């Protein structure tokens, strides 16, 4: 229903910069997820959009209106808090009606909207109860209902699922998406959980230390992380990192370390040939590690000779922790459930060259 | 097991001794209230006697036989004094309510320069000895004609009631999660709406506790009304004293007056017990 625009948004607490020069354009009806470790400034950013946090410098636009000096109540937003922040002294019905009464919505309208929202959320039978009589999941729905009935231009959600247990969280995640498709509102959603970010966001904003690291669709973020931090934060199990030296031999680029060497041909090799630095960090997603068993069939410089250290069986897949021979390099590989591996097996790990990530060792910026 | 039982017995014994120590004066006052003047001064003290309601009749102004002569000029009925006590205590409460609750909210929620100093100043009213300020206050009250007036008494009683209200209610306001108030702000409230619809109802138990405590302290006050009050504002605490003078001590009537004067407070305290305990402990533990 409304665009949001953040322009050079900054929040300082004394000498500490919590949010540093954030620029963002959030489209109509977009589900935008802000993700990052705790203390990265994502919640502060959200609260500045809500008007609950002072803005040190920069601007927030909702629709075409600059709202820096607009009270939260006049910003046409609804917010779902991590703690739900239900009014303990009011029934579920009154919790949902409160915002509407404050806005002088006609009683018949209030009634209708609450009926609609509560049946959509499956809390119709709870309307007379007080928040303390509800389970965590139910409270979460009420908090959501309170936001939905408002029919705001923008939904702001601050880790709304983090207080739920795993099963309920997964269900509610799906449901939130379903609701978003029905209600069609602009959503700004803050989470520290990269799974939520990946599954829910139309686009993801990855933040660290108050600075936006990357803004992109989930697939783009996963396949082409802008830097080592994004690469390590998004994806579970996390990406493997190996420090490597880059050598260019004709058309072939060789990335090698004490216990491994990976050869790369083609366009990727050409890109690598132009790098300013030869000391890089290699990044490989666990599913891009190709494990081949036995000692035979491994070329001298093909991949990493290693020993299976730990095997984790997850049913649909297995996680193999590989230790490079004669070094402390470890590599996590994600393989099919039917791959036969035992602790102590000698294996060779190679990498799909097209899936390789190369980062600057100093700055962490992605080259490839 | 054995040791535990012994400790229990010891504890019970200690409690019994303490209870006796604290309750005996009240017990004795109750006995005195039903004694004739002769019985109150009898030696050895009489525990068994023929009870009389004469003391209560005199004290309540219902005539009855005064078993001793009352000092000339002093009213024997404490009914007017009860009225004064009520007006002053309730008036003081009302002012503390109107001034103290917003102050408590501001001290709990808003960051401003020297916030803690201001909060502490309120508290200092409570522990500064009354006797220290009473003489200059007397002079001031005389000069601005507040001596022996309701306005003056209600004003000076703020020293008793306001700190209690501010500090207890502040603790309750601080206990309300900030997010609930923020939710109200997003939901369409300005600061007043947030205060009225969310903060105030949630702090209601604290406010009840504070009012109860403040009422008890106000009702029990003696020194302010002794020095700054007069005939028109004399409270029950002072009226009870009228039965004692250098010439005569009408203990029975004084005891009856005291018993009557503690009734409203006792009733309130029993009624509001659960609020009181929380209010007291909250004030104690907070910060």
Q: A190-209 in b/e burial notation, b at 16+ Cβ within 10 A?
A: bbbbbebbbebbebbbbbbe
* Residue A22 CB burial class (10 angstroms; 0-12, 13-18, ≥19): buried
The predicted complex's ipTM stands at 0.84
Q: Are A202 and A220 in contact (CB under 8 A)?
A: no
Query: Residue B54 CA to chain centroid, in angstroms?
Result: 28
A71 touches chain B (CB under 8 A): yes
Write the pLDDT tens digit of every residue in A206-227. 999 999 999 999 999 999 999 9
CB-CB neighbors (< 8 A) of B183 in chain A: 79, 81, 85-87, 146
Q: What is the pLDDT of residue A33?
A: 96
pLDDT band at B3 (very low <50, low <70, confident <90, very high): low
CB-CB neighbors (< 8 A) of B193 in chain A: 102
- Which residue, among A44, A52, A70, A85, would best test binding to B if mutated, counting the most B CBs under 10 Å from its CB? A85
Q: What is the pLDDT of residue A287?
A: 92
Q: Is the pLDDT of residue B150 over 60?
A: yes
Q: Beta partners for A308?
A: A322
Residue A11's H or E segment, with its range, is: strand A4-13
Q: A126-158 in b/e burial notation, b at 16+ Cβ within 10 A?
A: bbeebbeebeebbbbbbbbbbbbbbebbbbbbb
Average pLDDT, chain A: 90
Q: Is the pLDDT of residue B65 over 60?
A: no
Surface of B (238-257) touching A: CB under 8 A: none
Cα–Cα distance for residue pair B97/B9, rounded to 1 Å:
46
Q: Enter the tokens of residue B14.
A: 């200690």
Rounded to a whole number, what is the distance in Å from the CA of B178 to chain A's nearest CA?
9
Q: Is the pLDDT of residue B2 over 80?
A: no
**Ramachandran quadrant class, A294 (left: phi over 0; alpha: psi -120 to 50; beta: rest):** left
Query: What residues contact residue B1 under an 8 Å CB cut-off, 6+ apart?
Result: none
Q: What is the pLDDT of residue A142?
A: 94
Q: What is the pLDDT of residue B282?
A: 52
Surface of B (190-209) touching A: CB under 8 A: 190, 193, 197-198, 201-202
B175 touches chain A (CB under 8 A): no
Nearest to A102 among B179, B193, B202 (CB): B193
Query: What residues contact residue A267 under an 8 Å CB cut-off, 6+ apart?
Result: none
Cα–Cα nearest to A279, from A241, A245, A242: A245
Q: Is the pLDDT of residue B242 over 50?
A: yes
pLDDT band at A112 (very low <50, low <70, confident <90, very high): very high
A353 touches chain B (CB under 8 A): no
Query: What residues contact residue B46 under an 8 Å CB cut-off, 6+ apart?
Result: B35, B39
The answer to whether the CB atoms of A85 and B202 lie below 8 A apart is no
Rounded to a whole number, what is the distance in Å from the CA of B172 to chain A's nearest CA?
14
A13 touches chain B (CB under 8 A): no
Surface of A (101-130) touching B: CB under 8 A: 102-103
Rounded to a whole number, what is the distance in Å from the CA of B183 to chain A's nearest CA?
6
Write the pLDDT tens digit of every residue in B178-230. 999 999 999 999 999 999 999 999 998 889 889 988 999 999 998 898 889 88
- Which residue, among A89, A104, A105, A130, would best test binding to B if mutated, counting the most B CBs under 10 Å from its CB? A89
Q: Are A313 and A336 in contact (CB under 8 A)?
A: no
Q: What is the pLDDT of residue B286?
A: 34
**Which of A229-243, B68-82, B120-134, B228-242 has the least mean pLDDT?**
B68-82
Nearest to A81 among B183, B188, B190 (CB): B183
Residue in A with minimal Cα distance to B201: A89
CA angle B281, B285, B287 (to 5 degrees): 145
Domains of chain B: 79-281 (1.10.3720.10)
Residue in A with minimal Cα distance to B184: A99
Q: Positive or negative, the Cα torsion across B220, B221, B223, B226?
A: negative
Rounded to a whole number, what is the distance in Å from the CA of A105 to chain B's nearest CA?
12
Rounded to a whole number, what is the distance in Å from the CA of B250 to chain A's nearest CA?
53
The answer to whether the CB atoms of A102 and B185 lie below 8 A apart is no
The answer to whether the CB atoms of B185 and A72 lie below 8 A apart is yes
CB-CB neighbors (< 8 A) of A78 in chain B: 186-187
CB-CB neighbors (< 8 A) of A98 in chain B: 184, 187, 197
CB-CB neighbors (< 8 A) of B185 in chain A: 51-52, 71-73
Q: What is the pLDDT of residue B284?
A: 43
Average pLDDT, chain B: 86
**Ramachandran quadrant class, A13 (left: phi over 0; alpha: psi -120 to 50; beta: rest):** beta
Write the pLDDT tens digit of every residue in B92-106. 999 999 999 999 999
How many residue pairs from chains A and B have C-beta atoms closer than 8 A?
61
Write the pLDDT tens digit of every residue in A3-43. 999 999 999 999 999 999 999 999 999 999 999 999 999 99
Cis ω on the peptide bond leading into residue B44 (within 30° of 0)? yes
């Amino acid at each position: 229903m409304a665009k949001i625009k953040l322009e050079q948004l900054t929040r300082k607490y004394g000498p500490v910069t919590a949010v540093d020069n954030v620029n963002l354009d959030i489209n109509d009806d977009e589900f935008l997820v802000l993700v990052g470790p705790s203390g990265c400034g994502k919640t502060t950013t959200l609260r500045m959009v809500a008007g609950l946090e002072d803005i040190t410098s920069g601007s927030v636009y909702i629709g075409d209106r600059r709202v820096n000096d607009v009270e939260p109540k006049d910003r046409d937003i609804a917010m779902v808090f991590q703690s739900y922040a239900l009014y303990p002294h009011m029934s579920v019905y009154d919790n949902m009606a409160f915002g509407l009464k404050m806005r002088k919505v006609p009683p018949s309208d209030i009634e209708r909207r609450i009926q609609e929202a509560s049946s959509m959320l499956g809390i119709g039978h709870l309307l007379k109860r007080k928040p303390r009589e509800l389970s965590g999941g139910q409270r979460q729905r009420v908090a959501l209902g309170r936001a939905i009935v408002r029919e705001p231009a923008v939904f702001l959600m601050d880790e709304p699922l983090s207080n739920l247990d795993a099963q309920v969280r997964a269900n509610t995640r799906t449901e939130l998406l379903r609701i978003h498709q029905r209600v069609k509102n602009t959503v700004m959603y803050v989470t520290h959980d990269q799974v939520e970010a990946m599954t829910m966001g139309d686009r993801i904003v990855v933040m660290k230390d108050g600075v936006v690291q990357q803004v992109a669709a989930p697939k783009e973020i996963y396949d082409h992380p802008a830097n080592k931090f994004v690469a390590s934060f998004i994806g579970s199990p996390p990406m493997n990192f190996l420090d490597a030296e880059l050598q260019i031999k004709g058309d072939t680029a060789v990335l090698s370390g004490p216990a491994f060497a990976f050869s790369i041909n083609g366009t990727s090799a050409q890109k690598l040939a132009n790098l300013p630095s030869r000391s890089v960090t290699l990044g490989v997603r666990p599913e891009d590690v190709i494990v081949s068993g036995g000692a035979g069939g491994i070329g001298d410089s093909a991949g990493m000779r290693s020993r299976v250290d730990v095997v984790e069986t997850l049913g649909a897949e297995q996680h193999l922790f590989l230790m490079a021979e004669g070094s402390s390099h470890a590599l996590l590989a994600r393989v099919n459930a039917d791959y036969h591996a035992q602790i102590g097996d000698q294996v060779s790990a190679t990498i799909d060259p097209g899936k390789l990530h190369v980062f600057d060792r100093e700055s962490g910026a992605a080259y490839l | 097991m054995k040791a535990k039982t012994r400790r229990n017995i010891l504890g019970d014994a200690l409690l019994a001794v303490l209870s006796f120590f604290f309750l005996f004066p009240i017990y004795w006052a109750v006995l005195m209230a039903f004694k004739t003047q002769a019985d109150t001064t009898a030696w050895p003290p009489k525990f068994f006697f023929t009870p009389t309601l004469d003391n209560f009749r005199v004290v309540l102004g219902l005539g009855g036989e005064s078993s001793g002569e009352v000092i000339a000029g002093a009213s024997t009925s404490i009914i007017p004094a009860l009225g004064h006590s009520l007006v002053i205590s309730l008036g003081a409460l009302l002012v503390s309510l109107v001034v103290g609750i917003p102050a408590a909210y501001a001290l709990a929620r808003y960051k401003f320069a020297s916030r803690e100093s201001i909060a502490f100043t309120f508290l200092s009213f409570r522990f500064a000895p009354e006797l220290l300020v009473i003489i200059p206050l007397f002079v001031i009250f005389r000069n601005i004609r507040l001596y022996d007036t309701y306005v003056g008494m209600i004003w000076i009683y703020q020293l008793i009631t306001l700190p209690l209200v501010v500090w207890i209610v502040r603790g309750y306001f601080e206990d309300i999660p900030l997010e609930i108030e923020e939710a109200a702000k997003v939901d369409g409230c300005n600061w007043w709406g947030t205060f009225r619809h969310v903060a105030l109802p949630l702090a209601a138990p604290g406010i009840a506790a504070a009012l109860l405590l403040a009422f008890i302290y106000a009702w029990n006050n003696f020194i302010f009304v002794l020095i700054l009050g007069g005939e028109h504002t004399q409270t029950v605490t002072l009226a009870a004293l009228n039965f004692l003078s250098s010439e005569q001590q009408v203990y029975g009537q004084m005891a009856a007056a005291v018993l009557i004067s503690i009734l409203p407070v006792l009733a309130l305290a029993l009624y509001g017990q659960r609020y009181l305990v929380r209010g007291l402990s909250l004030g104690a533990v907070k910060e």
